[in-house]
Amino acid sequence: MGMEIECLICLKETAIPKNLNTGNYDGQITCRECGSLLQVKLVRSKVEQRRIERVGHPRPDPGMLLGALA
Ligand SMILES: [Zn+2]
């Protein structure tokens, strides 16, 4: 049973790691989409608190990288 949390930066759902105790967790989660760090508090699989810890950098566009190398 996976749980997801909405990222406050990119507004996409990011999966909470399965080994994390969603019944009682107070810690950080990294958004898989934008790499932002979120401070979250989970109680009984519900989000009690959620705030931005650090804004991540968007993934570089592969096309742009190729252009830079050429
Ligand atoms: Zn995000």
Contact 36, 10 (CB under 8 A): yes
CB-based contacts of 54: which residues, under 8 Å, 6+ apart? 36, 37
The whole model's pTM is what? 0.75
Residue 53 CA to ligand 1 centre (angstroms): 12
Contact 3, 45 (CB under 8 A): yes
Residue 49 CA to ligand 1 centre (angstroms): 16
Output the pLDDT for position 2.
80
- Each residue's pLDDT tens digit, 40-59: 999 999 999 999 999 987 66
Domain count across the chain? 1
Element (H, E) at 49: strand 46-54
Residue 70 CA to ligand 1 centre (angstroms): 30
What pLDDT tens digit does each residue of the chain (70 aa) get?
Answer: 689 999 999 999 999 999 999 999 999 999 999 999 999 999 999 999 999 999 987 666 767 666 766 5
Output the pLDDT for position 57.
76
Residue 11 CA to ligand 1 centre (angstroms): 6
Residue 29: give the domain boundaries.
4-69
